[in-house]
Structure 1
Amino acid sequence: MVSVLVAPDKFKGSLSADEVARALEHGLLDAAPHARVRRLAPADGGEGSVAAACAGRFRSEKVSVTGPAGQPVTAEVAVHGRTVLIEAAAVCGLGVLPGGRTAPLTATSRGLGQAVRYALAGGADTIILALGGVATTDGGAGLLQSLGAVLARDDGTPIGPGGAGLADLHTVDLVDARAALAGVDLVLATDVDNPLLGPTGTAAVYGPQKGASPGDVRELDGALAGFVGRLAAAGNDEAVRDADAPGAGAAGGLGYAGLLLGGKVRSGADYFLTLLGADDLLAGSDFVVTGEGSLDEQSLSGKLPVALARRARRLGVAVHAVAGRCTLPAARTAAHFRSVQALTDLTDQDCARDSALSARLLAQCGRTLADRWIGRERTETGR
C-alpha cells in the first residue's frame, strides 16, 4: 500500500491548511482508494499557528486582550505544559480589525503583551510568538508597554498607540519589561527576514498591505527610526544591531521588540514541522504533497513547502507541490519538487477568491497526482 503524506500551508484568502489538505486527500482517494493518506496541517508562524499546534499536543485556552484598534478581543492561545504559543494575528491581526477598517498609523500591539502576561501568570517558561498577519506597524511598542516598559512623551505621559505614537517618543526604559521575561525562553517564530527600517523594512514592504499610503510609509519608517535612536541614546547598545537583524521587521516590528526582550528568531515553518512530528510522518511515507497559495521567490527562502521538501529530501522521500499560482520556472522548483501543479493553469476564474472552486480544483490535482504517481511509486518501492 502506498502511503502519502498531505501537508500543505493555507491558501491565504481562500482555504485553511486543513481545508487544502482535505481537498487534496479527497482527490487522491477518489483516484486511488487503496492508498493510505495522512494529513498534516502545519503553519509558518502566521494565521493558523494556534490551530496547527492544537492539532498536535497542545490545547487551546481563551484570553481577553485589547485588539489592534483598542477594542476587546477574545483570542485563543495554545498551551502544552509550561510552553505557551501566542498567535499575533489572533490578537492584533488584520482579521480582527472592526469592520475590516485598517488603521496603519494607530493600530497597536498592546494586546500581545497582555497575552504574554497571561502566559507568565500561568507559569510559562517558554513563550512562542507566532509573528505574521498583523495590522500593526508600531515596532512592538504596545507589546513593550503592556510588559512594563516606559515609552513616554517629553511631558512624561505615555505615547499614543501605533507607529504614529512613536513620533512623540522622548523617554524609553525597558528595565521592567525585560525583568518580566527573566528566565523565560522567548521564541520568535517567523519566516520573514526583513530588517526593521529602510526600503526592505517593515513599513516599506508590509505597510501598504495594512492600508498605509506612501506618505504613511514614510511617517512610519521615520517614527521607527526615531524609536531606534531613542533606545540607543538611552544606553541600549543592541538597539541598532537588532534593528538590522533578519526578522526584526516581522509583524510590523514585533520581531524587533522580541529581540530587545532577549528573544531568538526561529524559522516558523521548521519550528512547526518539528513541533508536529513531521520527520516521523515523512519517514513512513512514499511521497508527500505540499503547497501554498503562491509558490514564488519568497517560498524559496524557506517557507513551509520548501522547508518540508528539504526535510523530505534528507529522507529520500519525493515531494509534489500544488499551488494557487506558481510564478517560478521549472528550473527553480525542480530542486525541491518532483512535480508542480497550479490552480491558475486549470481555470480562467479567480479561484483565490472562491473557496469552493479552489477546493474542487485541489481535488482535481489530487486525482492527477494519484493517476500519475501512485502506480509509479508502488513500482519504484516494490510495494
Structure 2
Amino acid sequence: MSEHEISRNDTHIRVAGNDSPEKRVLNIGFMALTDAASVIVTATQGFAEKYGLTLNLQRQASWATLRDKLLSGELDAAHSLYGLIYGAQFGLGGASATDMAILMGLNQNGQSINLSHGLKFAGVTTSDALNMRAHQKGAKLTFAQTFPTGTHAMWLYYWLASQGIHPLDDVDSVVVPPPQMVPHLKARRIDGFCVGEPWCAQAVEENLGFTLATSQSIWPNHPEKVLGCTRTFVEHNPNTARALIMAILEASRFIDENEENKRSTAQLLSGGEYVDAPLNVIQPRFLGQYQDGLGHAWLDAHPLRFHAEGAVNMPYLSDGMWFMTQFRRWGLLRDDPDYLAVAQQVHQLGLYRQAAESLGIAVPEVMRSSQLLDGQVWDGSDPVGYARSFSLNALADSTAVGL
C-alpha cells in the first residue's frame, strides 16, 4: 500500500448492460481545499473503478479557471462552489449563460472568516470592534473572498451585514484564490478573508491572523461545495453521471464513518498533488478541533462533514434557491428569477434519487428549513419576500460588485 492509499474493505460492483457509463474516463476539477476530500478519495481509493470509471483529477489555480474549463468541456465535472454553478447559469461574472447541473452536495460547514494580525494588535477582535473600525473615516478595510458569486462571498456579505457592516459600501471586497489567501494576508494586501480550510487554520498556525467567525456559526449545516457540471454533460451521459454520484456517495460515507477514516483522509489530502499543506493545519479542523488564535479552543458542534447518512449529499432545492436570494439581495440579479423553477432545472434530483436509493441511502425532502445567526428562518417558501426582508441590501445596485 502506498503512502496515499487508504485501507478499507469493499466488494467490486460490475456496471453493465443499459446502465453502463457512456463515458468512462472523466476529467474532474478540484481546488486545493480540504472539502475536496470526497472527490479525491473517490478518484484515488478505488471507489470510481467499482462503477467502471476512471477519474483524472485536475487541480485548478482559481475558481474562475475551473468554471471556464467546465463551460468549455475541458472538465467533465468538478468540485464546485454552489454559487459558481448558479452564477454560470445566469451568465454572471463575464461568463455566457449556460444551462448547468448540480448532481449532489459534497459537504457542509467548514469555512471561516479570519482577520489579520494587524487588526488583532489594534484590538479589533470582536464583531462590535470591527463594526466601529469599519465605520471610521479613512481607508476602508479590504476583505478577500474567492469568487464573486461563490459561497465565501455570500458568507462574508451575510455575516458582515448581520453585524451592521454593509459589505459593498463600508468595506472593499476583492477576489483571491484560496491558496493565495495567507500570502496576501502576510503581505498586508488584505485585512481579512473568508475561505475554506486549511487556509484559515494556516493563518492561525503562522500567527498571521485569527478566526472571528466560522461559516457554521452563520448557518449550522449550511450548503457548501457541490458536484457540478453542465446540463449538456448530464443529457449526453446520464449513466456516467449516476455512476459518478454513486461512487462519490460511497467515498463520502467512508470518510464520515469513523475518526480513523478521517485521519487517513487528512493524510491523503496533505499530499503535494492535492491540497499541498502540512497535516497539522489540515487535520484538526477536519476533525472539528478549532483554535481561533485568540486563546479559545473548542470541538465544533457542526464540523465539516461529507455524508451524515445522506443529509449532506441531497441537492436540496431550497439550498440553491437561497443563493439566488442572496444574488438578488446584493444586486447580482436585477430581477427576481423564478426561484423554484430554476432550482428544479439545475438540481438533478432524479439521478441523485436513483443513485442514493440503489445504495440504501435515505433521500430527504427536497426543501429544508434553517435558522441563520440573525434569527432569519429560510425554508424556500417565499424567496422574493426573503430577499427583500433584510435591512442591509443592494437590490437595485449590480455595479457595486463589479459584475
TM-score relative to the length of structure 1 = 0.29
Larger radius of gyration: 1
Specify which structure has the higher proportion of helix. Answer: 1
TM-score relative to the length of structure 2 = 0.27
